[in-house]
Amino acid sequence: MGIETSCDETAASVVRNGTEIISNVVASQIESHKRFGGVVPEIASRHHVEQMTIVVEEALEQADVTMDDIDAIAVTEGPGLVGALIIGVNAAKAIAFAHQKPLIGVHHIAGHIYANRLIEEMKFPLLSLVVSGGHTELVLMKEHGSFEVIGETRDDAAGEAYDKVARTLGLPYPGGPHIDKLAQEGTPSVKLPRAWLEEGSYDFSFSGLKSAVINTLHNAEQRGEEIDVKDLAASFQESVVEVLTEKTKRAVEEYGVKQLLLAGGVAANKGLRTRLTEMFGEREDLELVIPPLSLCTDNAAMIAAAGAVMYEQGKRSTLTMNANPGLML
Amino acid sequence: MIVLAIDTSNQPLSLAVLKDGTVMGEKLINIKRNHSLQAMSEVEALLASLDVEPASLKRIVVAKGPGSYTGVRIGVTLAKTLAWSLKIPIVGVSSLLSLAWPGKYFDGVVVPLMNARRGNVYTGLYEYRDGWQTLEEDRNVAMSDWLVHLAEREDRVFFTGADVDVFWEEIQSVLGKRAYRVSEEEAYPSAVMMAKHAEGLPDEDAHGFVPNYIRLAEAEANWLKEQEKKNG
Ligand SMILES: [Zn+2]
Protein backbone atom coordinates (compact mmCIF):
# COMPACT_ATOMS: atom_id res chain seq x y z
CA MET A 1 0.00 0.00 0.00
CA GLY A 2 1.21 3.49 -0.83
CA ILE A 3 0.25 6.76 0.86
CA GLU A 4 1.12 10.21 -0.46
CA THR A 5 0.32 13.65 1.02
CA SER A 6 3.35 15.78 0.12
CA CYS A 7 1.40 18.67 -1.41
CA ASP A 8 -2.27 19.08 -2.28
CA GLU A 9 -3.34 15.54 -3.17
CA THR A 10 -4.42 13.01 -0.54
CA ALA A 11 -3.66 9.66 -2.16
CA ALA A 12 -3.63 5.96 -1.37
CA SER A 13 -3.03 2.99 -3.61
CA VAL A 14 -2.63 -0.75 -3.63
CA VAL A 15 0.07 -2.09 -5.95
CA ARG A 16 1.06 -5.73 -6.54
CA ASN A 17 4.78 -6.60 -6.77
CA GLY A 18 5.64 -2.97 -7.41
CA THR A 19 4.46 -3.24 -11.00
CA GLU A 20 0.71 -3.70 -11.13
CA ILE A 21 -1.82 -1.12 -9.98
CA ILE A 22 -4.77 -2.68 -8.17
CA SER A 23 -6.24 0.62 -7.03
CA ASN A 24 -5.12 4.24 -7.20
CA VAL A 25 -7.23 6.80 -5.34
CA VAL A 26 -6.42 10.50 -5.42
CA ALA A 27 -8.46 13.17 -3.62
CA SER A 28 -7.36 16.42 -5.21
CA GLN A 29 -7.72 19.70 -3.34
CA ILE A 30 -7.08 21.82 -6.39
CA GLU A 31 -10.59 23.33 -6.41
CA SER A 32 -10.14 24.51 -2.83
CA HIS A 33 -6.75 26.15 -3.50
CA LYS A 34 -7.76 27.81 -6.78
CA ARG A 35 -9.38 30.73 -4.97
CA PHE A 36 -6.03 31.54 -3.34
CA GLY A 37 -4.05 31.34 -6.59
CA GLY A 38 -1.79 28.61 -5.23
CA VAL A 39 -1.47 25.92 -2.58
CA VAL A 40 -1.96 27.26 0.96
CA PRO A 41 -0.07 24.88 3.30
CA GLU A 42 -2.46 25.24 6.27
CA ILE A 43 -5.50 24.56 4.09
CA ALA A 44 -3.74 21.59 2.49
CA SER A 45 -3.00 20.08 5.90
CA ARG A 46 -6.62 20.51 6.99
CA HIS A 47 -7.91 18.75 3.88
CA HIS A 48 -5.45 15.88 4.35
CA VAL A 49 -6.80 15.21 7.86
CA GLU A 50 -10.37 15.19 6.53
CA GLN A 51 -9.60 12.86 3.62
CA MET A 52 -6.94 10.50 4.97
CA THR A 53 -8.86 7.47 6.26
CA ILE A 54 -11.57 7.84 3.61
CA VAL A 55 -8.99 7.65 0.82
CA VAL A 56 -7.19 4.66 2.35
CA GLU A 57 -10.47 2.79 2.81
CA GLU A 58 -11.44 3.52 -0.77
CA ALA A 59 -8.09 2.21 -2.01
CA LEU A 60 -8.70 -1.08 -0.18
CA GLU A 61 -12.30 -1.31 -1.38
CA GLN A 62 -11.47 -0.61 -5.01
CA ALA A 63 -8.69 -3.18 -4.82
CA ASP A 64 -11.10 -5.59 -3.15
CA VAL A 65 -8.50 -6.52 -0.52
CA THR A 66 -8.23 -6.18 3.26
CA MET A 67 -5.26 -5.08 5.34
CA ASP A 68 -4.43 -8.79 5.82
CA ASP A 69 -3.49 -8.91 2.14
CA ILE A 70 -1.13 -5.94 2.45
CA ASP A 71 2.57 -6.74 2.96
CA ALA A 72 3.87 -3.26 3.77
CA ILE A 73 2.90 0.40 4.06
CA ALA A 74 4.97 2.83 1.97
CA VAL A 75 4.58 6.54 2.56
CA THR A 76 6.12 9.74 1.19
CA GLU A 77 8.63 10.86 3.82
CA GLY A 78 9.74 13.98 1.90
CA PRO A 79 10.39 16.35 0.31
CA GLY A 80 7.24 18.47 0.28
CA LEU A 81 5.17 20.68 2.56
CA VAL A 82 6.03 19.64 6.10
CA GLY A 83 2.51 20.09 7.48
CA ALA A 84 1.10 18.02 4.63
CA LEU A 85 3.74 15.26 4.81
CA ILE A 86 3.11 14.90 8.55
CA ILE A 87 -0.46 13.72 7.95
CA GLY A 88 0.50 10.90 5.59
CA VAL A 89 3.48 9.87 7.70
CA ASN A 90 1.45 9.66 10.92
CA ALA A 91 -1.46 7.91 9.24
CA ALA A 92 0.96 5.37 7.75
CA LYS A 93 2.58 4.84 11.14
CA ALA A 94 -0.82 4.27 12.76
CA ILE A 95 -1.85 1.74 10.09
CA ALA A 96 1.51 -0.05 10.27
CA PHE A 97 1.29 -0.22 14.06
CA ALA A 98 -2.38 -1.25 14.22
CA HIS A 99 -1.84 -4.09 11.75
CA GLN A 100 1.78 -4.82 12.69
CA LYS A 101 3.03 -4.32 9.13
CA PRO A 102 6.42 -3.06 7.95
CA LEU A 103 6.65 0.68 7.32
CA ILE A 104 8.73 2.16 4.49
CA GLY A 105 9.53 5.85 4.02
CA VAL A 106 9.83 6.79 0.35
CA HIS A 107 11.42 9.81 -1.33
CA HIS A 108 8.80 11.64 -3.38
CA ILE A 109 11.05 11.85 -6.46
CA ALA A 110 11.92 8.16 -6.22
CA GLY A 111 8.16 7.70 -6.39
CA HIS A 112 7.83 9.83 -9.52
CA ILE A 113 10.60 7.84 -11.20
CA TYR A 114 9.13 4.49 -10.15
CA ALA A 115 5.75 5.49 -11.62
CA ASN A 116 7.39 4.32 -14.85
CA ARG A 117 7.77 0.79 -13.52
CA LEU A 118 3.97 0.55 -13.46
CA ILE A 119 4.16 0.84 -17.28
CA GLU A 120 7.42 -0.78 -18.25
CA GLU A 121 10.10 -2.83 -16.46
CA MET A 122 13.21 -0.76 -15.78
CA LYS A 123 16.39 -1.40 -17.77
CA PHE A 124 19.64 -0.12 -16.30
CA PRO A 125 21.48 2.14 -16.64
CA LEU A 126 18.62 4.55 -17.09
CA LEU A 127 18.16 8.27 -17.07
CA SER A 128 15.11 9.98 -15.66
CA LEU A 129 14.11 13.54 -16.44
CA VAL A 130 12.10 14.70 -13.42
CA VAL A 131 10.08 17.87 -13.95
CA SER A 132 7.44 19.05 -11.52
CA GLY A 133 6.27 22.08 -9.58
CA GLY A 134 9.06 21.60 -7.07
CA HIS A 135 11.76 19.74 -9.03
CA THR A 136 13.78 19.75 -12.22
CA GLU A 137 16.38 17.02 -12.11
CA LEU A 138 18.27 14.56 -14.24
CA VAL A 139 18.66 11.35 -12.26
CA LEU A 140 20.92 8.49 -13.31
CA MET A 141 20.06 5.01 -12.02
CA LYS A 142 22.51 2.11 -12.37
CA GLU A 143 20.35 -0.31 -10.40
CA HIS A 144 17.17 -0.45 -8.32
CA GLY A 145 17.16 1.95 -5.40
CA SER A 146 20.32 3.80 -6.44
CA PHE A 147 19.85 7.40 -7.52
CA GLU A 148 22.53 9.78 -8.76
CA VAL A 149 21.39 13.33 -9.35
CA ILE A 150 23.57 14.52 -12.24
CA GLY A 151 21.74 17.80 -12.77
CA GLU A 152 19.26 19.91 -10.85
CA THR A 153 17.78 23.37 -10.88
CA ARG A 154 19.74 26.18 -9.25
CA ASP A 155 16.71 28.37 -8.72
CA ASP A 156 13.12 27.81 -9.83
CA ALA A 157 11.78 24.41 -10.77
CA ALA A 158 10.33 24.26 -14.29
CA GLY A 159 6.79 23.93 -12.93
CA GLU A 160 7.35 26.91 -10.66
CA ALA A 161 8.46 29.02 -13.63
CA TYR A 162 5.33 27.93 -15.50
CA ASP A 163 3.09 28.99 -12.62
CA LYS A 164 4.80 32.36 -12.20
CA VAL A 165 4.72 33.15 -15.92
CA ALA A 166 1.07 32.09 -16.02
CA ARG A 167 0.28 34.49 -13.20
CA THR A 168 1.97 37.33 -15.10
CA LEU A 169 -0.09 36.47 -18.15
CA GLY A 170 -3.21 36.57 -16.00
CA LEU A 171 -3.97 32.86 -16.41
CA PRO A 172 -5.76 30.95 -13.64
CA TYR A 173 -3.97 28.60 -11.24
CA PRO A 174 -2.49 26.08 -11.93
CA GLY A 175 -0.86 27.80 -14.87
CA GLY A 176 1.14 25.00 -16.51
CA PRO A 177 -1.66 23.40 -18.54
CA HIS A 178 -2.91 26.84 -19.69
CA ILE A 179 0.49 27.86 -21.03
CA ASP A 180 0.88 24.47 -22.69
CA LYS A 181 -2.47 24.93 -24.43
CA LEU A 182 -1.72 28.52 -25.55
CA ALA A 183 1.72 27.46 -26.74
CA GLN A 184 0.15 24.87 -29.07
CA GLU A 185 -1.72 27.71 -30.77
CA GLY A 186 1.13 30.22 -31.00
CA THR A 187 4.52 30.39 -32.72
CA PRO A 188 7.77 30.83 -30.78
CA SER A 189 8.56 34.21 -32.38
CA VAL A 190 9.66 36.13 -29.27
CA LYS A 191 13.39 36.02 -28.53
CA LEU A 192 13.94 34.60 -25.05
CA PRO A 193 17.15 33.41 -23.38
CA ARG A 194 18.24 29.83 -22.79
CA ALA A 195 20.26 29.15 -19.66
CA TRP A 196 22.85 26.57 -20.68
CA LEU A 197 25.10 27.44 -17.68
CA GLU A 198 28.75 26.31 -17.74
CA GLU A 199 29.93 23.97 -20.44
CA GLY A 200 29.14 20.37 -19.54
CA SER A 201 26.78 21.23 -16.70
CA TYR A 202 23.53 19.33 -16.45
CA ASP A 203 22.10 21.88 -14.04
CA PHE A 204 19.12 24.06 -14.90
CA SER A 205 18.08 27.63 -14.22
CA PHE A 206 14.72 29.09 -15.09
CA SER A 207 14.55 32.32 -13.09
CA GLY A 208 16.29 34.36 -15.83
CA LEU A 209 13.83 33.09 -18.41
CA LYS A 210 10.91 33.88 -16.13
CA SER A 211 12.21 37.46 -15.64
CA ALA A 212 12.72 37.83 -19.41
CA VAL A 213 9.09 36.94 -20.04
CA ILE A 214 7.91 39.41 -17.41
CA ASN A 215 10.19 42.15 -18.84
CA THR A 216 9.00 41.51 -22.39
CA LEU A 217 5.43 42.01 -21.23
CA HIS A 218 6.21 45.16 -19.25
CA ASN A 219 8.22 46.73 -22.05
CA ALA A 220 5.48 46.07 -24.56
CA GLU A 221 2.96 47.58 -22.17
CA GLN A 222 5.06 50.71 -21.70
CA ARG A 223 5.43 51.18 -25.44
CA GLY A 224 1.72 50.60 -25.84
CA GLU A 225 2.36 47.57 -28.07
CA GLU A 226 0.05 44.59 -28.23
CA ILE A 227 1.83 41.34 -27.57
CA ASP A 228 0.40 38.05 -28.71
CA VAL A 229 0.05 35.99 -25.53
CA LYS A 230 -0.03 32.78 -27.55
CA ASP A 231 3.30 33.58 -29.20
CA LEU A 232 4.82 34.55 -25.86
CA ALA A 233 3.60 31.31 -24.28
CA ALA A 234 4.98 29.35 -27.23
CA SER A 235 8.33 31.14 -26.97
CA PHE A 236 8.56 30.48 -23.22
CA GLN A 237 7.65 26.84 -23.64
CA GLU A 238 10.12 26.48 -26.51
CA SER A 239 12.94 27.79 -24.33
CA VAL A 240 12.08 25.45 -21.43
CA VAL A 241 11.63 22.42 -23.66
CA GLU A 242 14.79 23.07 -25.64
CA VAL A 243 17.01 23.33 -22.55
CA LEU A 244 15.40 20.27 -20.92
CA THR A 245 15.64 18.06 -23.98
CA GLU A 246 19.12 19.17 -25.12
CA LYS A 247 20.63 18.51 -21.69
CA THR A 248 18.79 15.21 -21.55
CA LYS A 249 20.18 14.27 -24.94
CA ARG A 250 23.73 15.04 -23.87
CA ALA A 251 23.31 12.95 -20.72
CA VAL A 252 21.79 10.09 -22.69
CA GLU A 253 24.90 9.99 -24.93
CA GLU A 254 27.46 10.48 -22.14
CA TYR A 255 26.08 7.74 -19.89
CA GLY A 256 24.96 5.38 -22.65
CA VAL A 257 21.65 4.66 -20.97
CA LYS A 258 19.21 2.01 -22.15
CA GLN A 259 16.08 3.78 -20.98
CA LEU A 260 14.89 7.36 -20.70
CA LEU A 261 12.04 7.96 -18.26
CA LEU A 262 9.97 11.10 -17.98
CA ALA A 263 8.65 11.78 -14.47
CA GLY A 264 6.81 14.46 -12.49
CA GLY A 265 3.77 16.63 -13.01
CA VAL A 266 5.26 18.66 -15.88
CA ALA A 267 5.54 15.36 -17.77
CA ALA A 268 1.89 16.07 -18.55
CA ASN A 269 3.10 18.95 -20.75
CA LYS A 270 2.28 18.22 -24.36
CA GLY A 271 5.12 20.29 -25.78
CA LEU A 272 7.67 18.35 -23.74
CA ARG A 273 6.16 14.97 -24.54
CA THR A 274 6.04 15.70 -28.25
CA ARG A 275 9.66 16.90 -28.40
CA LEU A 276 10.98 13.93 -26.44
CA THR A 277 9.06 11.54 -28.66
CA GLU A 278 10.47 13.24 -31.78
CA MET A 279 14.01 13.09 -30.42
CA PHE A 280 14.08 9.63 -28.85
CA GLY A 281 10.95 7.79 -29.96
CA GLU A 282 12.53 6.11 -32.98
CA ARG A 283 15.84 5.11 -31.49
CA GLU A 284 16.62 1.41 -31.31
CA ASP A 285 19.34 1.64 -28.65
CA LEU A 286 17.13 3.58 -26.27
CA GLU A 287 13.66 3.03 -24.88
CA LEU A 288 11.63 6.14 -24.10
CA VAL A 289 8.99 5.68 -21.39
CA ILE A 290 6.41 8.38 -20.75
CA PRO A 291 3.77 7.46 -18.18
CA PRO A 292 0.11 8.36 -18.71
CA LEU A 293 -0.99 11.68 -17.20
CA SER A 294 -2.62 10.06 -14.16
CA LEU A 295 0.77 8.65 -13.12
CA CYS A 296 2.74 11.86 -13.82
CA THR A 297 0.91 13.99 -11.29
CA ASP A 298 1.19 13.14 -7.59
CA ASN A 299 -0.33 9.77 -6.73
CA ALA A 300 0.25 6.95 -4.27
CA ALA A 301 0.73 4.11 -6.77
CA MET A 302 4.18 5.53 -7.55
CA ILE A 303 5.01 5.59 -3.81
CA ALA A 304 3.89 1.96 -3.51
CA ALA A 305 5.96 1.06 -6.58
CA ALA A 306 9.11 2.64 -5.11
CA GLY A 307 8.29 1.18 -1.69
CA ALA A 308 7.97 -2.32 -3.15
CA VAL A 309 11.57 -2.22 -4.37
CA MET A 310 12.77 -0.98 -0.98
CA TYR A 311 10.73 -3.73 0.68
CA GLU A 312 12.48 -6.34 -1.49
CA GLN A 313 15.81 -4.78 -0.54
CA GLY A 314 14.95 -5.17 3.15
CA LYS A 315 14.70 -1.45 3.85
CA ARG A 316 12.42 -0.58 6.77
CA SER A 317 11.49 2.56 8.66
CA THR A 318 10.70 2.71 12.37
CA LEU A 319 7.78 4.40 14.10
CA THR A 320 10.09 7.33 14.84
CA MET A 321 10.14 8.19 11.15
CA ASN A 322 9.31 11.84 10.70
CA ALA A 323 8.21 13.95 7.78
CA ASN A 324 11.36 15.38 6.21
CA PRO A 325 10.65 18.33 3.93
CA GLY A 326 14.30 18.56 2.84
CA LEU A 327 14.92 14.83 2.30
CA MET A 328 17.76 14.07 -0.15
CA LEU A 329 17.36 11.48 -2.87
CA MET B 1 -12.41 -2.35 28.02
CA ILE B 2 -9.01 -0.80 27.25
CA VAL B 3 -8.89 2.85 26.26
CA LEU B 4 -5.93 4.77 24.79
CA ALA B 5 -5.87 8.56 25.21
CA ILE B 6 -3.55 10.91 23.30
CA ASP B 7 -2.89 14.64 23.69
CA THR B 8 -0.40 16.34 21.36
CA SER B 9 -1.98 19.78 21.26
CA ASN B 10 0.60 21.39 23.55
CA GLN B 11 4.34 21.09 23.83
CA PRO B 12 4.05 18.19 26.31
CA LEU B 13 3.02 14.77 25.04
CA SER B 14 0.47 13.10 27.31
CA LEU B 15 -0.62 9.48 26.88
CA ALA B 16 -2.76 7.22 29.03
CA VAL B 17 -4.07 3.67 28.94
CA LEU B 18 -7.11 2.85 31.09
CA LYS B 19 -8.73 -0.52 31.66
CA ASP B 20 -12.36 -0.45 32.79
CA GLY B 21 -11.87 3.06 34.10
CA THR B 22 -8.67 2.32 36.04
CA VAL B 23 -5.33 3.72 34.96
CA MET B 24 -3.00 0.99 33.66
CA GLY B 25 -0.28 3.42 32.69
CA GLU B 26 0.41 6.94 31.62
CA LYS B 27 3.25 8.86 30.07
CA LEU B 28 4.17 12.51 30.10
CA ILE B 29 7.04 13.95 28.06
CA ASN B 30 7.46 17.57 28.97
CA ILE B 31 10.48 18.60 26.91
CA LYS B 32 10.53 20.27 23.52
CA ARG B 33 10.38 17.41 21.04
CA ASN B 34 8.58 16.89 17.75
CA HIS B 35 5.25 15.07 18.24
CA SER B 36 5.32 13.84 14.65
CA LEU B 37 8.52 11.98 15.47
CA GLN B 38 7.72 10.70 18.94
CA ALA B 39 3.96 10.30 19.46
CA MET B 40 3.42 6.99 17.65
CA SER B 41 6.58 5.35 18.94
CA GLU B 42 5.81 6.46 22.50
CA VAL B 43 2.33 4.93 22.21
CA GLU B 44 3.98 1.74 21.00
CA ALA B 45 6.44 1.76 23.91
CA LEU B 46 3.74 2.46 26.51
CA LEU B 47 1.47 -0.31 25.23
CA ALA B 48 4.40 -2.73 25.04
CA SER B 49 5.37 -1.97 28.64
CA LEU B 50 1.79 -2.72 29.70
CA ASP B 51 1.60 -5.89 27.58
CA VAL B 52 -1.32 -4.46 25.62
CA GLU B 53 -1.61 -5.51 21.97
CA PRO B 54 -2.93 -2.87 19.56
CA ALA B 55 -5.83 -5.21 18.76
CA SER B 56 -6.90 -5.13 22.46
CA LEU B 57 -7.69 -1.41 22.29
CA LYS B 58 -11.41 -0.75 22.35
CA ARG B 59 -11.60 3.03 22.23
CA ILE B 60 -9.37 5.97 21.34
CA VAL B 61 -9.69 9.31 23.09
CA VAL B 62 -7.92 12.31 21.60
CA ALA B 63 -7.45 15.99 22.36
CA LYS B 64 -9.23 17.56 19.40
CA GLY B 65 -8.08 21.16 19.87
CA PRO B 66 -7.79 24.04 20.15
CA GLY B 67 -4.02 24.38 20.25
CA SER B 68 -1.07 24.28 17.90
CA TYR B 69 -2.62 23.43 14.52
CA THR B 70 0.14 21.00 13.64
CA GLY B 71 0.24 19.50 17.11
CA VAL B 72 -3.50 18.87 17.19
CA ARG B 73 -3.41 17.38 13.69
CA ILE B 74 -0.72 14.87 14.63
CA GLY B 75 -2.77 13.53 17.55
CA VAL B 76 -6.02 13.54 15.58
CA THR B 77 -4.42 11.84 12.55
CA LEU B 78 -2.92 9.11 14.73
CA ALA B 79 -6.15 8.68 16.70
CA LYS B 80 -8.54 8.57 13.76
CA THR B 81 -6.27 6.29 11.71
CA LEU B 82 -5.80 3.93 14.67
CA ALA B 83 -9.56 3.95 15.34
CA TRP B 84 -10.36 3.29 11.68
CA SER B 85 -7.67 0.58 11.39
CA LEU B 86 -8.80 -1.23 14.55
CA LYS B 87 -12.49 -0.62 13.78
CA ILE B 88 -13.08 0.98 17.17
CA PRO B 89 -14.72 4.27 18.13
CA ILE B 90 -12.96 7.57 18.60
CA VAL B 91 -13.94 10.28 21.09
CA GLY B 92 -12.72 13.86 21.02
CA VAL B 93 -12.15 15.92 24.16
CA SER B 94 -11.26 19.59 24.38
CA SER B 95 -7.52 20.20 24.58
CA LEU B 96 -8.33 22.94 27.09
CA LEU B 97 -10.20 20.54 29.35
CA SER B 98 -7.08 18.36 29.30
CA LEU B 99 -5.30 21.24 31.06
CA ALA B 100 -8.08 21.81 33.61
CA TRP B 101 -7.48 18.76 35.85
CA PRO B 102 -5.57 20.51 38.69
CA GLY B 103 -8.74 22.56 39.29
CA LYS B 104 -10.84 19.51 40.07
CA TYR B 105 -11.22 20.23 43.81
CA PHE B 106 -11.08 24.01 43.49
CA ASP B 107 -14.01 25.90 44.97
CA GLY B 108 -14.89 28.08 41.99
CA VAL B 109 -14.54 28.05 38.20
CA VAL B 110 -11.59 26.79 36.17
CA VAL B 111 -10.10 28.65 33.19
CA PRO B 112 -7.48 26.80 31.12
CA LEU B 113 -5.33 29.05 28.93
CA MET B 114 -3.26 28.56 25.80
CA ASN B 115 -1.33 31.44 24.32
CA ALA B 116 -2.65 32.09 20.79
CA ARG B 117 -0.18 34.98 20.16
CA ARG B 118 -0.78 38.71 19.67
CA GLY B 119 -2.57 39.06 23.00
CA ASN B 120 -5.05 36.29 22.18
CA VAL B 121 -5.77 33.08 24.03
CA TYR B 122 -7.60 29.83 23.49
CA THR B 123 -9.71 29.42 26.57
CA GLY B 124 -13.02 28.25 28.01
CA LEU B 125 -14.86 28.20 31.32
CA TYR B 126 -15.17 24.95 33.25
CA GLU B 127 -16.30 23.73 36.64
CA TYR B 128 -16.05 20.35 38.37
CA ARG B 129 -19.42 19.38 39.79
CA ASP B 130 -20.34 15.68 39.43
CA GLY B 131 -17.85 15.57 36.59
CA TRP B 132 -16.51 18.33 34.39
CA GLN B 133 -19.09 20.86 33.26
CA THR B 134 -18.55 23.29 30.39
CA LEU B 135 -19.91 26.67 31.51
CA GLU B 136 -18.71 28.51 28.44
CA GLU B 137 -17.50 26.97 25.17
CA ASP B 138 -13.88 27.02 24.03
CA ARG B 139 -12.99 30.17 22.15
CA ASN B 140 -10.22 32.29 20.67
CA VAL B 141 -10.40 35.69 22.32
CA ALA B 142 -8.28 38.73 23.25
CA MET B 143 -7.04 38.13 26.79
CA SER B 144 -8.06 41.66 27.83
CA ASP B 145 -11.67 41.07 26.69
CA TRP B 146 -11.78 37.68 28.34
CA LEU B 147 -10.66 39.12 31.67
CA VAL B 148 -13.33 41.84 31.51
CA HIS B 149 -15.85 39.09 30.89
CA LEU B 150 -14.56 36.98 33.79
CA ALA B 151 -14.59 40.01 36.10
CA GLU B 152 -18.35 40.24 35.60
CA ARG B 153 -18.74 36.91 37.40
CA GLU B 154 -18.59 36.66 41.15
CA ASP B 155 -16.63 33.38 41.32
CA ARG B 156 -13.11 32.66 42.36
CA VAL B 157 -11.19 31.74 39.20
CA PHE B 158 -8.49 29.07 38.88
CA PHE B 159 -6.20 29.45 35.85
CA THR B 160 -4.48 26.35 34.45
CA GLY B 161 -1.92 25.53 31.75
CA ALA B 162 1.74 26.48 31.34
CA ASP B 163 0.82 29.71 29.53
CA VAL B 164 -0.72 31.22 32.70
CA ASP B 165 2.81 32.53 33.28
CA VAL B 166 2.56 34.84 30.28
CA PHE B 167 -0.66 36.48 31.49
CA TRP B 168 -0.44 36.30 35.28
CA GLU B 169 0.28 39.98 35.89
CA GLU B 170 -2.56 41.04 33.62
CA ILE B 171 -4.90 38.53 35.30
CA GLN B 172 -4.07 39.82 38.78
CA SER B 173 -4.51 43.43 37.76
CA VAL B 174 -8.09 42.72 36.69
CA LEU B 175 -9.28 39.96 39.05
CA GLY B 176 -7.09 40.72 42.08
CA LYS B 177 -7.49 38.22 44.92
CA ARG B 178 -10.18 36.22 43.10
CA ALA B 179 -7.54 34.82 40.77
CA TYR B 180 -5.62 31.61 41.54
CA ARG B 181 -3.04 29.85 39.42
CA VAL B 182 -1.91 26.32 38.81
CA SER B 183 1.43 25.34 40.33
CA GLU B 184 4.34 24.83 37.97
CA GLU B 185 4.50 21.04 38.37
CA GLU B 186 0.83 20.64 37.46
CA ALA B 187 0.83 22.89 34.41
CA TYR B 188 0.59 20.13 31.81
CA PRO B 189 -2.19 18.27 29.97
CA SER B 190 -3.59 15.00 31.30
CA ALA B 191 -4.63 12.22 28.98
CA VAL B 192 -5.85 10.29 32.05
CA MET B 193 -8.31 13.04 32.80
CA MET B 194 -9.41 13.10 29.15
CA ALA B 195 -10.00 9.35 29.15
CA LYS B 196 -12.05 9.57 32.35
CA HIS B 197 -14.09 12.48 31.04
CA ALA B 198 -14.68 10.69 27.72
CA GLU B 199 -16.46 7.83 29.51
CA GLY B 200 -19.55 10.00 29.51
CA LEU B 201 -19.23 11.09 25.88
CA PRO B 202 -20.73 9.48 22.77
CA ASP B 203 -18.62 7.60 20.21
CA GLU B 204 -17.71 9.43 17.02
CA ASP B 205 -16.98 8.20 13.51
CA ALA B 206 -13.30 8.09 12.49
CA HIS B 207 -13.80 9.23 8.87
CA GLY B 208 -15.65 12.39 9.81
CA PHE B 209 -13.47 13.23 12.79
CA VAL B 210 -11.66 16.57 12.42
CA PRO B 211 -9.82 18.88 14.81
CA ASN B 212 -11.63 21.76 16.46
CA TYR B 213 -9.32 24.54 15.27
CA ILE B 214 -11.74 27.27 16.46
CA ARG B 215 -10.07 29.65 14.03
CA LEU B 216 -10.24 29.65 10.25
CA ALA B 217 -6.94 29.32 8.43
CA GLU B 218 -5.55 32.81 7.91
CA ALA B 219 -5.76 32.59 4.11
CA GLU B 220 -9.38 31.52 4.32
CA ALA B 221 -10.31 34.30 6.74
CA ASN B 222 -8.71 36.89 4.43
CA TRP B 223 -10.42 35.39 1.42
CA LEU B 224 -13.83 35.57 3.11
CA LYS B 225 -13.20 39.21 4.04
CA GLU B 226 -12.46 40.01 0.42
CA GLN B 227 -15.60 38.24 -0.76
CA GLU B 228 -17.62 40.34 1.66
CA LYS B 229 -16.01 43.53 0.34
CA LYS B 230 -16.74 42.51 -3.23
CA ASN B 231 -20.35 41.77 -2.45
CA GLY B 232 -20.69 45.13 -0.73
ZN1 LIG C 1 5.33 15.39 -7.19
Closest CB to B218: pick one of A42, A83, A89: A42
Whether B198 and B84 share a structural domain: yes
- Min Cα distance B110 → chain A (Å) is 30
Asked if residue B54 has pLDDT above 90, the reply is: yes
CA–centroid distance for A53 within its chain? 24
Whether B89 and B198 share a structural domain: yes
Asked if residue B219 has pLDDT above 80, the reply is: yes
Asked if residue B232 has pLDDT above 80, the reply is: no
User: What's the pLDDT score for residue A134?
Assistant: 85
Question: What's the domain count of chain B?
Answer: 2
Whether B73 and B138 share a structural domain: no
Residues with CB under 5 A from ligand 1 (ion): A 132, 298
Contact B43 A97 (CB under 8 A): yes
Kindly report the pTM of this predicted structure. 0.95
Whether B9 and B80 share a structural domain: yes
In whole angstroms, give the CA distance from residue A325 to residue A18: 25
Distances (CA, A) of A228 to A115, A166, A231, B30, B33: 37, 14, 5, 62, 55
CB A64 within 8 A of CB A21: no
Closest CB to A46: pick one of B81, B85, B217: B217
Whether B142 and B111 share a structural domain: yes
User: What's the pLDDT score for residue A54?
Assistant: 98
User: What's the pLDDT score for residue B26?
Assistant: 98
In whole angstroms, give the CA distance from residue B66 to residue B210: 11
User: What's the pLDDT score for residue B112?
Assistant: 98
Mean pLDDT estimate for chain B = 97
CATH of the domain at B113: 3.30.420.200
Write the pLDDT tens digit of every residue in A225-254.
888 999 999 999 999 999 999 999 999 999
Write the pLDDT tens digit of every residue in B4-49.
999 999 999 999 999 999 999 999 999 988 999 999 999 999 999 9
Distances (CA, A) of B125 to A243, B11, B135, B160, B175: 63, 22, 5, 11, 15
In a domain, B176, yes or no: yes
In a domain, B229, yes or no: no
User: What's the pLDDT score for residue A38?
Assistant: 87
DSSP A317: B
Whether B39 and B154 share a structural domain: no
Return the closest-CA partner of residue B35 out of B64, B63, B66, B75.
B75
Report residues of chain A scoring pLDDT below 50: none
Whether B157 and B197 share a structural domain: no
In a domain, B159, yes or no: yes
Indicate the Cα dihedral angle A76, A81, A82, A84, nearest 10°. Answer: -70
Write the pLDDT tens digit of every residue in A152-185.
999 999 999 999 999 998 898 888 999 999 999 9
Helix, strand, or coil here: A169?
coil
Contact A94 B77 (CB under 8 A): yes
CB B65 within 8 A of CB B212: yes
User: What's the pLDDT score for residue A227?
Assistant: 87
User: What's the pLDDT score for residue A37?
Assistant: 86
In a domain, B177, yes or no: yes
Which chain B residues have a beta carbon less than 8 Å from that of A97?
A: 40, 43-44, 54, 82
Closest CB to B81: pick one of A40, A52, A100: A52
Contact B73 A87 (CB under 8 A): yes
Of the two residues A132 and B99, the one the predictor is more confident about is B99
Whether B113 and B147 share a structural domain: yes
User: What's the pLDDT score for residue A173?
Assistant: 84
Whether B53 and B159 share a structural domain: no
Which chain A residues have a beta carbon less than 8 Å from that of B223?
A: 35-36
Alpha helices in B109-180 (DSSP H): 143-151, 164-175
**Exposed e or buried b per residue across A122-136, where buried means at least 16 C-beta atoms within 10 angstroms of its C-beta:** beebbbbbbbbbbbb
In a domain, B66, yes or no: yes
CATH of the domain at B7: 3.30.420.40
Whether B63 and B87 share a structural domain: yes
Whether B195 and B89 share a structural domain: yes
Q: How do strand A9-16 and strand B157-160 relate by DSSP bridges?
A: unpaired
In a domain, B48, yes or no: yes
User: What's the pLDDT score for residue B159?
Assistant: 98
CA–centroid distance for A94 within its chain? 27
Domain of residue B80: give its range: 2-95+190-223
Query: Integer distance in angstroms from the first to the last C-alpha of chain B?
Result: 56
- In chain B, which residue's Cα lies nearest the Cα of A84? B70
CB B78 within 8 A of CB B6: yes
Asked if residue B170 has pLDDT above 90, the reply is: yes
In a domain, B230, yes or no: no
Contact B74 A35 (CB under 8 A): no
Whether B86 and B132 share a structural domain: no
- Min Cα distance B138 → chain A (Å) is 20
Q: Is A67 on the interface with B (CB under 8 A)?
A: yes
